[in-house]
Copies of this chain bind each other. A is one copy, B any other.
């Protein structure tokens, strides 16, 4: 998991690992699959990342760092918490289209983490989570947000979004074709209404 000097192979590995772990999970993905996918030997993979767990950790770290950075960027770009939170909803919806693996990996990690946590003793997404609850807390102390529990609100917001996203491949068969194209747009609008009604003070 140490930074490598020649980035090409290690970065390619993280990239392919992100998509395979997202699709099939940690135990469903073998390091043979991963190595074959970018046409290197399995032992070359292990040369870069000493163990399978390390590679998985590198994937999580990269993901968590990106996401934390995005939240910070939103905080920096907009001065008031109202704009920040709506911008974040926008970000969520955009990223689910551009980077569909993310939600899968995050969900899988939440499911597996309690077991893994005994060894790892850390949660990669802590800064991301704290960044988000901080926006809520800040908005509350400035009097623009209602006094909801920041943690519960964020978890429900993330959940409403991520669950829908990972359900879509399965449930899309139940939408009419022309309705389905509207779903992501309507979902986005619903999330915004949720934020407006449950969080924003009138």
A residues lining the B interface (CB < 8 Å): 23-28, 104, 107-108, 110-115, 117, 123, 126, 129-130, 148-149, 151-153, 155-164, 166-167, 169-171, 174-175, 179, 183, 186-187, 190-191, 193-194, 197-198
Contacts and interface: CB of A to CB of B under 8 A. Distances in A.
Contacts of A107: 107, 111, 163, 166
Contacts of A163: 107, 110, 155-156, 158-160, 162-163
Given A112-B25, A187-B156, A151 B171 contact: yes
Given A27-B28, A115-B23, A115-B24, A152 B198 contact: no
Nearest to A172: B151
A159 B187 CA distance: 12
A153 B189 CA distance: 12
Contact of A151 (B24, B123, B162, B175): B175
A190 B115 contact: no
A100 to B, nearest CB: 11
A123 B170 contact: yes
A24 B26 CA distance: 10
Contact of A167 (B110, B126, B160): B110
14 contacts: A28-B112, A107-B107, A110-B163, A113-B169, A114-B169, A123-B170, A129-B174, A151-B171, A151-B183, A152-B164, A155-B171, A156-B164, A159-B164, A163-B163
A187 B152 contact: yes
A163 B103 CA distance: 12
A169 to B, nearest CB: 4
A170 B107 CA distance: 12
